[in-house]
Chain A
Amino acid sequence: MTESKRQLAMVMDLNKCIGCQTCTIACKRLWTRDEGMEYMWWNSVNTQPGRGTPRDWEDMGGGFREGNAVPGKLPTRKDFGDAWEFNHEEVFFGGKGDKVHLKVKGEEPEWGPNWDEDQGAGEYPNAYYFYLPRICNHCTHPACLEACPRKAIVKREEDGIVLIDEDRCRGYRFCMEACPYKKIYFNHVEKVSQKCIFCFPRVEQGVANACARQCPGRVRFLGYRDDKNAPIWKLVDKWKVAIPLHPEYGTDANVFYVPPLAPPRFDENGEIDESNPRIPNEYLVSLFGPKVLESLEILKGEMAKTRAGGKSELLDLLIAYRWKDMFGGFDRDPATIEWKKA
């Protein structure tokens, strides 16, 4: 397998994500508007705990166990939530706007990409949830690439971005079975597999990914893994607070998460109870592995430090006072570039 010389990576701070889906729409408008792409959300944001997108993707297999490929399931379009068609013509142009209401055409949907939004878990007054934005992880050990019998998937040497060569792809979908994060989509019109391209045409021009640049929550940091001036290295390697999702999948993901801290619990008397976390540790460990607990401790320690009047490089970094500092040098304004469609 070819190893990349450098690796672009992203860190998402789950304490700041407000679930607004601006990232999702930024990506949709830029990359997945063609025919056959209607149901694709290369960027998705789901409520956790929840079944995710595609539905129950964490039970679909794929990835590696002890270095061996694990078979996986193919998610259906319905599992992804599909693309609903609405009766826009009827409501807006059919002269029946006062009688007909906007609704999904055909069969009543029973699932959608955000069907269980904001449900979460736990009981009042200790209910909890948080948002989990996901893109392709541009893995160091990409299960999708290794599964393809046609060598149609490449990992770029210069920046580690994982791309599907649509001219070589025959739509066999072994990549879709293999990806444990279920971030491959099949285009049933073009008959090829498609996925997040890490906005490579932007990144090549020094512009941050659309999901990162458009994020109003300042959730997403970008940069090369090994760039000691970029936030990725500081958050992942120096401060060790950003960790990958499901490290046990064995693909060495290059999207890292700052895990969510929740407000404290209330006890039966309505008093603040700091003895147990509101989001159960086991749940966070099931998502991020045991390192999540260390990461939370580091965050808490730094917060205590600033509360006592001290300064914290880590918290300053996470607060992202200066928006452009989040992008590891990829901070060029896209409006300064004349974009051409290939």
Chain B
Amino acid sequence: MRARTISSTEFDRLMDPSAATWKQAGAERVKLEGSPLGMQPTALIRAAWQDRKIGAIDRVQIAALHDGERLAFRLEWSDPTENRGNADNVDFPDGVAVLLPAVQGAPIVTMGAPGNAVNAWYWRADDDTNVRHVVAEGIGTSRTVSVEAGLARGAWKEGRWQVVIARALRVETVDPVAQLQAGETTGIGVAIWDGGSGERAGIKSISGLQWRKLSLDALPTARR
């Protein structure tokens, strides 16, 4: 997929998922599949899900725009139930994550590997104005890192989630997060959790077991 460029003034409006500016992005439709049962890390999870469908959400529309400094993703998918809470023990919130390699060549299937981190920009409906930055170097190793200038906004309207997740292309941190720049091509993966179906952790819809391509347009020459 392609992240087109827009001006910084226009970028400022993108945090509203219904902003008209998003129309310029050219959203791409991505099919999702359930994460494989055999990849679930514990016997209990495998036993509990062997006869249940993993991956309630089967497609997502994803768009991306950047202004040379910041990158924003807009994700939209159909979900008839809005699950925001943890109010009861049986309630789980909806969520979405955009996964990027922090190190080129990091494996997506295993959520990274030691020394080859992946970086998720993770949004959850129980905390809908925050993006959590997660780094992982293998299944079960994910940890939250603090990253400045991460923003998110989610809204559920008429059976559809619309979520915007944004961050500066480059950030100051010692943690292995994705560092991006205009003109570059990297990998991308998407994961969606349907809280209403009890999805959490590795029980989710994913965009596949391979990285998809993400190309950030180069900046127009006049603005370099």
Instruction: Please report A residues at the B interface, Cβ cutoff 8 Å.
Output: 68-72, 74-77, 143, 146-151, 170-174, 176-178, 186, 188, 191
Contacts and interface: CB of A to CB of B under 8 A. Distances in A.
A143 B202 CA distance: 19
B140 A69 contact: no
Contacts of A149: 40-42, 45, 139-140, 201-202
Interface of B: 40-48, 85-90, 126, 139-140, 142, 200-202
Contacts of A77: 88-89
Contacts of B201: 149-150, 170, 172, 174
B105 to A, nearest CB: 25
The CB with the most chain B CB atoms within 10 A, among A69, A74, A149, A151, is that of A149
A76 B151 CA distance: 33
Given A69-B47, A70-B47, A176 B42 contact: no
B107 to A, nearest CB: 18
A147 B45 contact: yes
A177 B46 CA distance: 13
Nearest to A82: B88
B141 to A, nearest CB: 9
A71 B86 contact: no
Contacts of A76: 88-90
A170 B41 CA distance: 15
30 contacts: A69-B42, A69-B44, A69-B46, A70-B47, A71-B47, A71-B48, A72-B48, A74-B90, A76-B88, A76-B89, A77-B88, A77-B89, A143-B44, A146-B44, A147-B44, A149-B41, A149-B45, A149-B140, A149-B201, A150-B142, A150-B201, A151-B140, A170-B200, A174-B42, A174-B45, A174-B48, A176-B89, A178-B44, A188-B87, A191-B86
Contacts of B200: 170, 172-173
A69 B50 CA distance: 12
Nearest to B91: A188
Nearest to A148: B42
Nearest to B44: A147
Contacts of A75: 89
Contacts of B88: 76-77, 188
Contacts, number: 66
Nearest to A145: B42
Contacts of A143: 44
B119 to A, nearest CB: 17
Given A76-B88, A172-B201, A150 B44 contact: no
Given A149-B201, A151-B140, A172-B201, A177 B44 contact: yes
The CB with the most chain A CB atoms within 10 A, among B46, B48, B85, B202, is that of B48
Given A69-B46, A143-B44, 17 more contacts: A69-B44, A72-B48, A74-B90, A146-B42, A146-B44, A147-B44, A149-B40, A149-B42, A149-B140, A150-B201, A170-B201, A171-B86, A172-B200, A172-B201, A173-B200, A177-B48, A186-B86
Contacts of A170: 200-201
Contacts of A148: 42
A174 B46 CA distance: 11
A143 to B, nearest CB: 7
Contact of B89 (A69, A70, A147, A186): A186
A60 to B, nearest CB: 12
A186 B200 CA distance: 15
Contacts of A171: 86
* Chain A to chain B: the 3 pairs with minimum beta-carbon distance, closest first: A147-B44, A71-B48, A69-B43
Contacts of A174: 42, 44-45, 48, 201
A76 B91 CA distance: 9
A172 B46 CA distance: 15
A149 B200 CA distance: 11
Contacts of B142: 150
Contacts of A172: 200-201
A296 B192 CA distance: 55
Contacts of A71: 44, 47-48
A173 B46 CA distance: 14
Contact of A146 (B43, B86, B126, B202): B43
B118 to A, nearest CB: 16
Contacts of A72: 48
A85 B85 CA distance: 21
A173 B89 contact: yes
Contacts of B87: 188
